[in-house]
Amino acid sequence: MSLIYHAKKNYDRFPRWMLSAAGMLYYQIPAEKRYGKTFEDTLRFLADTEFMSRDEMDRLINERFRYIVHYAGKHVPYYKNKFAEYGVDIRTIQDIRDIVRLPLIDKEELRQHQQEMISDEYDPSKLMYITTSGSTGKPVGFYQKQSILMTEWAYVMHIWSRAGCKPDSSRLVLRGKQLPPQRQDNNWFYDPLRRELNCDVMNMTEENMEKYCSAIEKYRPQFIHGYMSAITMLAKYIATRNGGLRHQFSGILAISENVIPEQKTYVERALGARVFSFYGHSERLVIAGECEKSSSYHVEPTYGYCELLDENRKQAKAGEITATGFLNEAMPLIRYRTGDLAEWDSSESCSCGRNHRRLISVFGRWSQDMLVTIGGAYVSLAAINIHSDEFDHLVRYKFVQDEPGVVDLQIVPGKSYCPQDGEQIKRLLEDKVNHTIRFNIKQKGNLEVMKNGKYKIIEQKIPLTFGRKDGRGGVTYSITLIHAGYLKKEVSAA
């Protein structure tokens, strides 16, 4: 286990001078010792295999796929039963093309069979227990090996290396991390051990953002790492700040929230640096990061296998991300329906030279990030994709919906806002959705972030379900899929 993993539990209690001294000493230690063997080995493996041929990649995928399926069939009671029930003889599972013969699972299935899904080789009390919210809002929990944390960190660093970020690069951190109580005096603190300038995203008042800007100018972090909603807030503040910001970031690493194209365009222009985001989820089954040569997401072939399934649960060009993880045999999840939507990039190849399969338009948690038209079709915000100067005049906005076809757009106006902006925004949005939704603009003094510091851009009060077969009490709508920039015509409610 790595030093940083042990250090991070207690060191928030140390005084600042001691941390600075520790930070200086810490960076004298060679990187492989600091982050541990798992991290270093994984990072090296990823660098070695990054530009492998399509054939080599297929061979690795097949190897890992066969391993996890065979392991599950042998050591996991749930899969033993399930494969028998579906008539799957695992000896006949040879390569990834056989994946379609395996049953699908979803969060509800996971909730019901959680204990049977743990491998008989692992003691649950020695595993990490992670929870995430299910499609009905009920949390669902699962178990992972401890070592997966450093393995995953290596994948993330590997992806970020495309932005020039290294494990030791300094970062401005804007995420829902609680500042330790003794460091809350400034709403920010600098952590020399991790080279992180942490700023509170719960309290992004102008007064505090001014302090953040001074701290940025003092510590000069190379990258911004955090939630896009918070980064956008800060960029908007900097745009109106006297003299702007006397510091140039090398790149922006967006995490956890869906990146709305409008935010991305704005932030890249305002801060003069590229935004890189990646798709991942707490189940740790599929990870895909943006490329330095394009904006498509390269799926990491050795982390897990990604399928996109349409409403009939068939592999398709666009659909629900259905994931088979390769890293966690303690509780294998095979063909797990994530509830997230994406579309394959069908262009021949990427100019970076990597042979990875690529996604465009990854939309996270669809059930939270969709609006419903008067006809009952779903529209993703990323598909609405509006960029106009009028949006730049808003500090923050939120879509609130409790009936199909009507959406309240709550806005916090900035200094440069005038009422015509509101009318223009309404017009643009309604045109974009072919007038299938009416938008009412409502001014607010403030719009709060959630307890974890993330910001919910859509507050969707209509219970949405994906596809026709899953009506578990909610209204069942058909979906409108997802070509960024255009809307398919309505499909009526089932």
Nearest approach, Cβ of residue 298 and Zn ion (Å) = 6
Cβ 353 to Zn ion, closest distance in Å?
7
Q: Give min distance, CB of 361 to Zn ion, in A.
A: 16
Q: Which is nearer to Zn ion, 255 or 350 (CB)?
A: 350
Tell me how far, at minimum, the Cβ of 62 lies from Zn ion, in Å.
Answer: 23
Closest CA to 232 of 197, 257, 198: 257
- Is 167 strand, coil or helix? coil
Which residue, 178 or 349, is less far from Zn ion as judged by CB?
349
Structure tokens at 111: 């909730």
Distance of closest approach, residue 286 Cβ to Zn ion, in angstroms: 17
Nearer to Zn ion, 218 or 293 (CB): 293
Distance, in Å, from the CA atom of 370 to the CA atom of 477, rounded to the nearest integer, reads 12
- Nearest distance from residue 159's CB to Zn ion, in Å? 11
Closest approach, Cβ 57 to Zn ion, in A, equals: 14
Query: Smallest Cα–Cα separation from 447: which of 398, 408, 393?
Result: 398
What is the contact surface with Zn ion in residues (CB under 5 A)? 291, 293, 350, 352
Nearer to Zn ion, 74 or 293 (CB): 293
Which residue's CB is nearer to Zn ion, number 291 or number 447?
291
Q: What angle do CA 425, 339, 448 make, to 5 degrees?
A: 45
Cα–Cα distance measured from residue 361 to residue 375, given in angstroms and rounded to the nearest whole number:
24
CA distance 143 to 127: 6
Between 243 and 353, name the residue whose CB sits nearer to Zn ion.
353
**Could you tell me the smallest distance in angstroms from the CB atom of residue 299 to Zn ion?**
11
- Give the 3-state secondary structure of residue 366: coil
Considering the complex, state which of residue 318 and residue 360 has its C-beta at the smaller distance from Zn ion. 360
State the Cα–Cα distance between residues 407 and 403, nearest whole angstrom.
Answer: 8
Smaller CB separation from Zn ion, 351 or 420: 351
Least distance CB 294 / Zn ion (angstroms): 5
Yes or no: say if 279 and 339 are a contact pair by the CB < 8 Å rule.
Answer: no
- Residue 291 or 407 having the CB closest to Zn ion: 291
171: helix, strand or coil? strand
Minimum distance between the CB of residue 355 and Zn ion, rounded to whole angstroms? Answer: 10
Note whether 453 and 202 are within 8 A (CB): yes
Q: Which long-range contacts (CB under 8 A, 24 or more apart) does 28-37 make?
A: 29/3, 31/167, 31/168, 33/3, 34/2, 34/3, 34/4, 34/167, 35/2, 35/3, 35/4, 35/150, 35/153, 35/167, 36/1, 36/2, 36/3, 36/4, 36/5, 36/150
| Spatial CA neighbour of 142 closest among 108, 102, 114, 173 | 114
| CA 410 to chain CA mean position, Å | 24
As a whole number of angstroms, the distance between CA 139 and CA 321 comes to 19
DSSP state for residue 103 in the 8-state scheme: P
The smaller minimum CB distance to Zn ion, of residues 162 and 281, is found at: 162
Give me the phi and psi of 82, to 5 degrees please: -65, -45
